[in-house]
Amino acid sequence: MSVQVSVDNYIATVVLDRPAAMNSVDQEMRQELHQTWERIRSDEDIRVAIITGAGEKAFCTGSDLKKTMPTQETFAQQIYAKSSSSALTAGLDFDKALIAAINGYAIGGGMELALACDIRIASDNAQFALSEVKIGSVPGTGGTQRLPRAVGLSDAMLMLLTGDRIDAQEAYRIGLVSRVVPAAQLMPAALEIAAKIAANAPLSVRAIKRLVRQGMDMPLAHAIDVERYALGLLYNTEDRIEGRKAFAEKRKPNYKGK
């Protein structure tokens, strides 16, 4: 298995486990990741997931070019003849929270995987690049769209058009990552964030993620209307009532996602 998954206290830890290949993605890993995304989506014992790489050098360096041969299918076949996309991030469009714990190189598709996550933290040895322009290609797994939304147009264009790498401190400066920590503290930091999210009301977490993601593409007035609708949907849920009872009784709430 090239993807290792463990679940504890509502937190799934997903490890890309091909350290000898810098955690690059071959066809086997791609299939396992798609199965993992579906498991996270459907398993009610998972409220938040952390994605990281095995070893100390790489988070993920994108497709394994040594093992990924060009497809013999036409582009029309790829788009219309399959039930779902084979893209690395296909299936990640769910409402549960995702944390990328970036422990080294996040290059090409690996950086695009990190961009598809909600929260990104990095070890101090992390390196980032979307270098496809250097080989006559373009980032094709959301990089040209997610990066400007994450860091703004100018910094995104600088990375995309030069293809140059940036280090963890520069990634922090432009807002690509939320925190930079020593390598030994990366997973403890990610688990601390995940535990805080997992302790919150699951329906509220999912609603907030969906509101933020969808609202970024809406006019502000429309987005606020949708926000009020979501508040109404949550108003009489068991968890919302439990949250108020727990506050009044000065205890931790016991949320059930209902």
Residue 49: pLDDT band with limits 50, 70, 90: very high
In this prediction, residues 123-140 reach a mean pLDDT of 95
Q: Considering the chain, what is the average pLDDT of its residues?
A: 92
Residue 56 annotated among the catalytic residues of the structure: no
- 257 domain residue, yes or no: no
Instruction: Say if residue 168 is in the same domain as residue 54.
Output: yes
Q: Per residue in 195-208, pLDDT tens?
A: 999 999 999 999 99
116 shares a domain with 60: yes
Q: Is the pLDDT of residue 252 over 80?
A: yes
Same domain assignment for residues 106 and 229? no
- At 8 the pLDDT is 97
* 161 and 179 both lie in a single domain: yes
Question: What is the number of structural domains in the chain?
Answer: 2
Is 194 within a domain?
yes
Q: How confident is the model at residue 63, as a pLDDT?
A: 83
Mean pLDDT across 108-112: 96
The confidence score (pLDDT) of residue 70 equals 58
Is 44 in the active site?
Answer: no
In a domain, 27, yes or no: yes
Residues 210 and 170 in one domain: no
The predicted-structure confidence for 183-196, as pLDDT tens digits, reads as follows: 999 999 999 999 99
The answer to the question of residue 210 being in a domain is: yes
| Section 68-97 average pLDDT | 73
Is residue 67 domain-shared with residue 183, that is, in the same domain?
Answer: yes
According to the model, what pLDDT value does residue 81 have? 60
Q: Supply the pLDDT for residue 105.
A: 97
Catalytic residue among 28, 44, 56, 112: 112
pLDDT at 35 over 90: yes
Domain that holds residue 212: 202-249
70 and 25 within one domain: yes
Same domain flag for 155 and 131:
yes
Token duo for residue 153: 């147009």
Question: pTM for the whole thing?
Answer: 0.91
For residue 62, tell me if it sits in a domain: yes
Is residue 9 located within the same domain as residue 68? yes
Residue 64 in this model has a pLDDT that exceeds 90: no
Q: Do 176 and 216 fall within a single domain?
A: no
Same domain, 211 and 184: no
Query: Among 11-20, 38-47, 68-77, where is mean pLDDT lowest?
Result: 68-77
**Residue of 132, 227, 238, 242 with catalytic role:** 132
130 & 185 share domain: yes
Question: Considering the domain boundaries, does residue 113 fall inside one?
Answer: yes
**Residue 63 is part of a domain; what is its CATH number?**
3.90.226.10
For residue 255, tell me if it sits in a domain.
no
What CATH number corresponds to the domain at position 235?
1.10.12
Whether residue 170 has pLDDT greater than 90: yes
